[in-house]
Structure 1
């Protein structure tokens, strides 16, 4: 980075099931309006827009921001699978850090269909073809069943075989997610569940059951980033900044490893996190709050280790000792995470950004983690895009 990038404002709307959601342009505009109000800015002061989404035709981003008027600024649409929102933030941060712009909006939204994720284009090569072939080589894929849960079922089975963690410990992650979501008015699922409830829900494969998978969700979130000079000129708050950030794809030899854990992004997460820690000069043990990509309980477990929150093979003890929640070493997903808050693909990364920003400001209300000066965000898209962002409190 060439100059510090501040988070001037954040906003999101309550996430909802597809049957209860507004159209994407209404949701996206709601999140943008909330971020503008939070920052104390007018849309005419925004110089660039990056819009993240997956389920939508071209130029949905323009449709969202044109609700605020046409100002002639660049609007770029970003599709990086489930990491689309954080990829939009990465681009916005780059624009400000490189002095290409002073004030940039990143918005993510998703109007998702009900049911499992599926490919929408059947007349051309699938982008995940190599991933599917590798998955079939390491896991008994059920043909005709949704593939996404099978990736994570395979990764969970691989982790269990490697470290011996029982299914009950994976289930405990869902219980923790619901407990955290109870205090989040933006979350879809806020009712408590037990380990028994989780284990008795329909089986998806490996250690996974239905209650260990994020629900199809619609929603939107946004963040406005700016330079320190812009904040000073416009009287904006300057208490949260992006300290370091990395966006990475798969490195050589990933498919040859024949590892389901690698397929779902554990290696990318580790590489991106290490790059962020090196950039920032920060030890992960100094971080007290993390929003990570828990699309399935398995991914939360893998991410504990890949992000350096615990040692390799140490996730079971980390969970059992309560080191992933209030009173422990680090509070993971105080929002309830994707498992309980929901996972509208394009909005997820920016919803994580909003939660971390509120935590650093001390504005997370009943979810507030005490003594927070650093907050980590992790957003992952199969295919692969892994984004890790470290935020800091200033002053």
Structure 2
């Protein structure tokens, strides 16, 4: 990193349950819960937040302001972010930049989504589709069917990987089985049922090798992450709970998208390769140093091709990781201990921040029945077609004045362990962390 950059740390996280999109909970309510939990995590009021980056894909122009004003109208910058499925991690990327380059000492990244049921559709028919190039290339290479568009993109990528390297549909089904099994220990997951491999394979076919239980659902939910400088961490005695963002990179599509006529490249693999290479160089590590990964498994086929793109295996050997059980507990890596998008859910604006929350809890040692042992480095991968990917590496902070680790810090801050128990917030929780400047009128109105 450049000398002008400072280190940045995640100091507080919070999230809601991810639920089916039935219109029962509005986005300000979801956002309030996530932010209140993140502030309870650092035992501070909203007044310490100096900038806010709010990610969502479905909503009007200033939903971000509406979401955070209820915590206080402190006149700080509130920036709305939309980067397709990588929206949440893009908000985090911007918050981290603001801290590392000395613009602020404490920033909030918030993400939420209130979605409609069913596959994501193109809502604006009177303007150019931002994925028009992707649509054209899909049509020219493998053709377009009536199946959901995203399933075709990622399903074709899986088919091509099988054709090129000898993987099979069974490998993708095993990934779906693993992630559903992992989510049984995640109280925030939209689905917590465990399925056999045969149940995964025999669920309704969506496209090509992909069955329903290998595809992420549409979801409602919210997540929040507070990022701070070393100065802020030490001044507020937060060393024990701080998790360092060791490296982070964002990449967009390369000419390979157009030139290779490849379904794997159409799914954004080269973006991932670029960002992964950058974070390993920044962190001074290799993929072999990683123990746990939260990976963007919108479809099981994308998890398969991403093992390769992240360098978790040699090129063309992703399916061998699956065969050797090196993607679950007891293996080389634990990939998607949260259950991933397939089982945890995928509210677009919140997904990247929920991934961060899981890895922070893992690095703090809070995850008990899904805890990854002997954890030093954690990696996050969040991708959106169109395109953007954010890859991040985290580790426990090594800071002056740090005493012990934070394995039991939840007792004081929450009274329960939020990594393994999901609870809502109370009015008392809200009042404890909202801005000291907020008026009784706003409290009563619950804006």
Correspondence 1:292 to 2:295:
yes
In the TM superposition, what whole-angstrom CA distance separates every residue of 1:182-210 from its partner, at most 9, and x where no partner exists? 10000011111122112212222221111
Q: TM-score of the superposition, structure 2-length normalised?
A: 0.87
The one of 360, 365, 371 aligned to 1:362: 365
Partner of 1:159: 161
Runs of 4+ off more than 6 Å? none
- 1:22-101 to structure 2, matched below 5 A, reads 22-101=25-104
When Rg is computed on C-alpha atoms for both structures, the one with the higher figure is 2
Correspondence 1:274 to 2:277:
yes
Distance 1:20 1:365 in 2: 33
- Secondary structure class of the residue paired with 1:352: helix
Runs of 5+ unmatched residues, structure 2: 399-447
RMSD over aligned CA atoms reads 1.1
In the TM superposition, what whole-angstrom CA distance separates every residue of 1:306-363 from its partner, at most 9, and x where no partner exists? 1111111111111011100000001000000000000000000000000000111101
Distance 2:23 2:357 in 1: 23
Correspondence 1:348 to 2:334:
no
Q: Is the 8 A contact 2:293 2:378 kept in 1?
A: yes
Runs of 5+ unmatched residues, structure 1: none
Distance 1:280 1:363 in 2: 24
Correspondence 1:19 to 2:22:
yes
Shift of 1:21: 4.5
- Secondary structure class of the residue paired with 2:303: helix
Q: Is the 8 A contact 2:239 2:397 kept in 1?
A: no
Shift of 1:235: 2.3
The one of 91, 103, 108 aligned to 2:106: 103
Correspondence 1:125 to 2:133:
no
Q: Is the 8 A contact 1:223 1:354 kept in 2?
A: yes
- Secondary structure class of the residue paired with 2:111: strand
- Secondary structure class of the residue paired with 1:189: coil
Shift of 1:38: 0.6
- 1:80-229 to structure 2, matched below 5 A, reads 80-142=83-145, 144-229=146-231
Q: Is the 8 A contact 1:39 1:237 kept in 2?
A: no
Q: Is the 8 A contact 1:44 1:71 kept in 2?
A: yes
In the TM superposition, what whole-angstrom CA distance separates every residue of 1:103-144 from its partner, at most 9, and x where no partner exists? 0000010001100011111100000000100011111211x5
Q: Which moved more, 1:189-198 or 1:340-349?
A: 189-198
Count of residue pairs the alignment pairs up: 394
Distance 1:286 1:21 in 2: 43
In the TM superposition, what whole-angstrom CA distance separates every residue of 1:237-269 from its partner, at most 9, and x where no partner exists? 353110000011012342121111111111110
Q: Is the 8 A contact 2:218 2:345 kept in 1?
A: yes
Q: TM-score of the superposition, structure 1-length normalised?
A: 0.98
- Secondary structure class of the residue paired with 2:391: strand
Distance 2:44 2:254 in 1: 40
Distance 1:39 1:337 in 2: 26
